[in-house]
Chains A and B, each alone.
Chain A
Amino acid sequence: MNLFRSEEHARRWPSFQAKAEHGFITLGQLAGFFGTETRRHMLDADYLSTWFPRRGAERRAYLERIGKTTPFWLGTPDP
Chain B
Amino acid sequence: MADAGLMDRMFQRIMRGLVDTGVAPHYAERARALGVSVEEGRQLLHGVMEAYPIGWLHPETDYIASFPPLNNLPTQYRVTVRGEQRWFAQCGFEATSVTWLFPGETVRIDAPCPDCGDPVSVEMRDGQILWVDPPGVVGHLNYGFGASRGRPSFL
Q: Which residues of A pack against B, CB within 8 Å? A: 1-7, 9-10, 12-13, 15-17, 19-20, 23-31, 33-35, 39-40, 42-49, 52, 71-78
Contacts of A19 in B (CB 8 A): 144
Q: Judging by beta carbons under 8 Å apart, are B138 and A20 in contact?
A: no
- Give A55's nearest chain B residue, CB to CB: B54
Q: Judging by beta carbons under 8 Å apart, are B113 and A9 in contact?
A: yes
B86 vs chain A, min Cβ distance (A): 17
Interface size on B, residues (CB 8 A): 56
B153 vs chain A, min Cβ distance (A): 7
Inter-chain CA distance A5–B116, complex, in Å, is 9
Q: Judging by beta carbons under 8 Å apart, are B8 and A35 in contact?
A: no
Within 8 A of A (CB), among B16-72: 16, 19, 48, 51-52, 69
Q: Judging by beta carbons under 8 Å apart, are A35 and B138 in contact?
A: no
Query: Which of B19, B139, B147 has the most chain A CB atoms closer than 10 A to its own CB?
Result: B139
Which 5 pairs across A and B sit closest by C-beta, in order of nearness? A75-B146, A75-B145, A3-B92, A34-B97, A72-B144
Contacts of A77 in B (CB 8 A): 146, 148
Q: Judging by beta carbons under 8 Å apart, are B140 and A4 in contact?
A: yes
Inter-chain CA distance A13–B44, complex, in Å, is 40
B145 vs chain A, min Cβ distance (A): 4
A-B contact pairs, 24 of them (CB 8 A): A3-B77, A3-B92, A3-B137, A3-B138, A4-B113, A5-B113, A5-B116, A5-B136, A15-B114, A16-B142, A20-B140, A20-B141, A27-B139, A28-B129, A34-B96, A40-B100, A42-B97, A43-B16, A46-B8, A48-B4, A52-B52, A72-B145, A74-B145, A75-B147
